[in-house]
């Protein structure tokens, strides 16, 4: 299992409106291998503004890659306005190595 985090740096006061776009996201939920999505809003640590941390959990990397190459992905990122609020972003990938479900205690 993997998690992909997309940390999006935003202008102050734009985080709530931007997060609504993710609340409406339906295409990703229909993708094989998709587990869940969480969107977190907080203050930017490095600069003025806000950060959205969008975390998607996938069964495996192939499922995530299928999503990013799908028509549904392209459609969800097409003509979405609000790009003037985005100051930058970074994408990271992590592999699940310990959880309460797989811990051997």
Encode pLDDT of 5-18 as tens digits: 999 999 999 999 99
* Assigned domain for 100 exists: no
Domain that holds residue 67: 2-95
**Residues of 83-100 as b/e, b for ≥16 C-beta within 10 angstroms?**
eebebeeeeeeeeeeeee
The CATH number of residue 64's host domain is: 3.30.70.100
Closest Cα to residue 83, out of 17, 23, 5, 27?
A: 17
On whether residue 55 sits in a domain, the answer given is: yes
pTM: 0.83
- Report the domain count for the chain: 1
Strand partners of residue 57: 3, 36
Intra-chain end-to-end CA distance of the chain, in Å: 20
What's the confidence (pLDDT) of residue 41? Answer: 96
Q: What is the pLDDT of residues 28-76, one digit of tens each?
A: 999 999 999 999 999 987 778 999 999 999 999 999 999 999 998 888 8
Nearest-angstrom CA–CA distance, 41 and 56: 15
What number of other Cβ atoms are within 10 A of residue 50's Cβ? 21
Q: Would residue 101 count as lying in a domain?
A: no
């Amino acid at each position: 299992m993997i998690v992909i985090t997309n940390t999006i740096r935003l202008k102050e006061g734009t985080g709530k409106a931007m997060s609504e776009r993710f609340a409406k996201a339906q295409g990703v939920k229909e993708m094989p291998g998709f587990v869940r999505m969480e969107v977190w809003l907080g203050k930017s640590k490095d600069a003025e503004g806000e950060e959205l941390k969008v975390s998607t959990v996938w069964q495996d990397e192939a499922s995530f890659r299928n999503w990013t190459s799908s028509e549904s992905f392209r459609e969800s990122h097409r003509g979405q306005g609000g790009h003037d609020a985005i100051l930058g972003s970074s994408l990271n990938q992590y592999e699940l190595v310990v959880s309460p479900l797989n811990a051997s205690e």
